[in-house]
Every structure is written in C-alpha cells, then in structure tokens.
Structure 1
Amino acid sequence: MAEAAKKIALTQDGKKASFNLFPELCKGCGLCMQKCPVNIIVWSTDLGVYGTPSVCTNDQDKCIACKTCEMVCPDAAIRIVKK
C-alpha cells in the first residue's frame, strides 16, 4: 500500500491570522485574489503543480481573517487560522 503524501503548507503569519497555502493543491485560478476584501493576495514568483503561478500575501498584517479566500478556493489549497 502506498503511503499518503504529506501536505506541507507555506505559512505567512499576521496579527489576526495565519495564511496557510498548500502549493500542491493550488492550480492558480486566482479566485482568492478576486474575492479578498482587503486585496492582500497576490501572485507569487513560485509556480504551482500545474506550472501556473501560486499565490501569497503581500501584507499579512492587513488580513481581517474573514476566510473568504478559504471558502472560494475550489481546491481547498488555503487555510486561515485565526489567532
């Protein structure tokens, strides 16, 4: 039986929450960027598994921890952990 692959998150900590991106799940659709009410999600310089840009935050301290990005991500690639 094959061992399940471990999902490793790239984490950016902020005042209100931590932004956790699972790059192996992100397909670079950009829905999280479009829906973020404070516009802190931007394209990363890193490529995701599909060869498309992944995302990151440009100022995690401005995150209001609304979890909109997490809710709209069709691939469950984002987790917001409130502090």
Structure 2
Amino acid sequence: MAKVNWESVKYESSKGQWSIFPGLCKGCGLCMEKCPVKCIGWSEGLGVYGTPRVEANMEKCIVCGICQMICPDCAIRVEKKK
C-alpha cells in the first residue's frame, strides 16, 4: 500500500487559511464546481494519482468552507480567522 503524504500546501489571507493536502486530492473538481465565488482553480502541482490538484485564489476566497464540506476525500481544510 502506498504511503500517504500528509503535508499540506497553505494559502492565507486576512479572512483565514485554505489548505490542500496533495496526498489526498484526486483532482475531481467538485470543489471548483461548488465554490460560490469561483476562487478555486487548477494548480501546477499534482495530486495523489499524478492528476492536477487545486489551489485557492485568496483574494477572492470568502472562507465559507463549502469546498471542505463537498470534498469526497477530505483533501481541503478551511479555517476562518477570529
């Protein structure tokens, strides 16, 4: 069984932090489809199967967490700043 890479790639803004776990992201695109402000796009980095992974444009991101809830692989973590 392949070993999962648990390291995340983080994106931050004054509103919060958006993290992607490339070792879990299979590039399904559900997060991009459901994002209400369309701030998620394809990254140059690769996901778990060598497929494209996603990244967030933090200038647009409202840190709503819909992408985290919709991700079937728990590859996204969203944290609002208090």
Query: Is the TM value for this pair above 0.5?
Result: yes
**Structure with greater Cα Rg:** 1
SS at match of 2:59: helix
* Percent of matched pairs sharing the same residue: 52
Unaligned stretches of 5+ residues in structure 2 = none
Match of 2:70 in 1: 72
Aligned length: 79
Deviation of the 1:15 alpha carbon:
1.8
Runs of 5+ in structure 1 lacking a partner? none
Q: What are the Cα deviations for residues 16-73 of structure 1, in whole angstroms up to 9, with x where unaligned? A: 110110100000000000001011100011111201100001x303211110000000
Q: Secondary structure at the match of 1:7?
A: coil
* 2:17 counterpart residue number: 18
| Residues in 1 aligned to 2:45 and 2:22: alpha-carbon distance in whole angstroms | 9
Q: Tell me which amino acid in the other structure corresponds to 1:71.
A: M
Give yes or no for the alignment of 1:36 onto 2:35: yes
Q: CA deviation at 1:6?
A: 6.2
Instruction: Name the SS for the 2:77 alignment partner.
Output: strand
| TM-score, normalised relative to structure 2 | 0.88
Q: TM-score, normalised by structure 1?
A: 0.87
Residue number in structure 2 paired with 1:52:
51
